[in-house]
Amino acid sequence: MKLNTVKLAYFSPTKTTMKILEGIAEGLGAETVQHIDLTLPEADATRQDAMQDELVLLGVPVYEGRVAKTAIPRLQRLKADKTPAVVVVVYGNRAFEDALLELSDIAWELGFFPVAGGAFIGEHAFASETRPMANGRPDTEDIAKAKEFGSGIRAKVEGMASIDEASRIDLPGDTPYIDRDRSALAEKAARTLDETCTLCGTCESLCPVGAITIEDVVKTDNLACILCNACVKSCPEGARVVDDPTINKIVNWVSKNYQARQEPLR
Ligand SMILES: Cc1cc2nc3c(=O)[nH]c(=O)nc-3n(C[C@H](O)[C@H](O)[C@H](O)COP(=O)(O)O)c2cc1C
Ligand code: SF4
Ligand code: SF4
């Protein structure tokens, strides 16, 4: 099989997943690389064309050991027909649990044929200087590993006469997938420090679920917020915060207990 076009389809609020897919694509060395960014709410209404003679890299972040929920209906807008795919999850150095298997199962249901899978590490959405969790990752080493992964996939795909030759890949994870009690996080959301905010609109434009509206102050729909931290990380004034005490307790615990550097699995 020839590899001319590579498509990167991802949900990536804080952009670490996107960076990993870009690294893999570089290693693949395809002539054409196209992005299908499923991060913003418009992705809910955009139907993608059928994909056939191309390799699609599907990437999502891990939320509570699973595929980030918001990504699922957006991935389901992709059309595939035995399209070779690479499934990639990115997690914040705690654990990816059943997310990679779940993403692979979603890909199969959509008509993709996963030829490879990997779990990479990205700076945790809740990381800060005081509570470091994979800060600065993916770093140079991670990107080098992503490229290496990409060149291995190229060799594998080019060695196949047709996708029918591929066998189902074995990925870590269990069914039924882990299902954590989220009640402690219900209606918790990022908020704005009104005295620091300049109403620039950056947070509103980057929120993956349209939870932010700018009026005379920044308003947040607490029910819609998925706590992705895109607004917190992108606010030029540091005016978006997640400082709920229950969340703080969880973040402190994760930061304290998951300091040992995890390495990509692929
Ligand atoms: C709500 C939420 C839940 C998360 N759950 C996990 C988790 O279970 N394990 C983990 O290691 N990281 C977890 N993370 C961290 C993300 O997987 C990590 O920050 C990832 O790099 C985000 O991808 P993105 O930059 O593409 O948005 C979580 C982040 C958020 C916002
Ligand atoms: S990005 Fe920050 S400064 Fe800009 S509107 Fe949002 S909270 Fe205000
Ligand atoms: S309001 Fe919530 S969902 Fe929207 S960007 Fe901020 S943390 Fe993410």
Tell whether the model's pLDDT for residue 90 goes beyond 80. Answer: yes
Q: Same domain for 189 and 159? A: no
Expressed in angstroms and rounded, the spacing between residue 247 Cα and the centre of ligand 2 is 22
Q: Same domain for 147 and 194? A: no
According to the model, what pLDDT value does residue 46 have?
73
Tell whether the model's pLDDT for residue 39 goes beyond 80. Answer: yes
According to the model, what pLDDT value does residue 52 have?
65
Lowest mean pLDDT among 131-145, 172-186, 199-213: 172-186
Residue 18: inside a domain: yes
104 C-beta closer than 6 A to ligand 3: no
Q: Same domain for 50 and 98? A: yes
According to the model, what pLDDT value does residue 91 have?
98
Lowest mean pLDDT among 24-33, 48-57, 77-86, 204-213: 48-57
Residue 63: inside a domain: yes
Tell whether the model's pLDDT for residue 115 goes beyond 70. Answer: yes
Residue with structure tokens 């997310």?
Answer: 99
Q: Same domain for 102 and 159? A: yes
Cα gap 57→217, rounded to integer Å:
39
- Supply the range of the domain harboring residue 149: 5-165
Q: Same domain for 122 and 37? A: yes
pLDDT category at 164 given cuts 50, 70, 90 is confident
Q: Same domain for 144 and 193? A: no
Residue 16: inside a domain: yes
Cα gap 223→31, rounded to integer Å:
43
According to the model, what pLDDT value does residue 183 have?
86
According to the model, what pLDDT value does residue 149 have?
98
Pair 188, 126: CB distance under 8 Å? no
Residue 143: inside a domain: yes
Q: Same domain for 224 and 105? A: no
Tell whether the model's pLDDT for residue 20 goes beyond 90. Answer: yes
Going by alpha carbons, the residue nearest to atom 2 of ligand 1 is: 63
According to the model, what pLDDT value does residue 51 have?
65
Residue 196: inside a domain: yes
71 C-beta closer than 6 A to ligand 3: no
* pLDDT tens-digit readout, 188-233: 999 999 999 999 999 999 999 999 999 999 999 999 999 999 999 9
Q: Which helix (DSSP H) or strand (DSSP E) does residue 150 occupy?
A: helix 140-158
Cα gap 90→17, rounded to integer Å:
6
Q: Same domain for 136 and 24? A: yes
Q: What is the mean pLDDT of residues 238-243?
A: 97
The total of other beta-carbon atoms located within 10 Å of residue 249's CB is 11
Q: Same domain for 144 and 199? A: no
Q: Which of 12, 14, 62 to mutate to test the pocket of ligand 1 (most atoms within 8 A of CB)?
A: 62
Pair 146, 123: CB distance under 8 Å? no
Identify the domain boundary among 165, 195, 224: 165
According to the model, what pLDDT value does residue 194 have?
98
Tell whether the model's pLDDT for residue 22 goes beyond 70. Answer: yes
Identify the domain boundary among 165, 196, 212: 165
Q: Same domain for 153 and 50? A: yes
Q: In the chain, pLDDT over 70 holds for what percent of residues?
A: 97
Q: Same domain for 121 and 197? A: no
Expressed in angstroms and rounded, the spacing between residue 63 Cα and the centre of ligand 1 is 5
220: CATH: 3.30.70.20
Tokens of 113: 């044929």
Cα gap 78→107, rounded to integer Å:
10
64: CATH: 3.40.50.360
Residue 265: inside a domain: no
According to the model, what pLDDT value does residue 162 have?
83
Domain count along the chain: 2
Helices within 174-244 (DSSP H only): 202-206, 230-234
Residue 198: inside a domain: yes
Q: Which range, 136-145, 150-159, 161-170, 178-187, has the best average confidence (pLDDT)? A: 136-145
255 C-beta closer than 6 A to ligand 1: no
According to the model, what pLDDT value does residue 49 have?
66
Mean pLDDT computed over every residue of the chain: 94
Tokens of 256: 């304290």
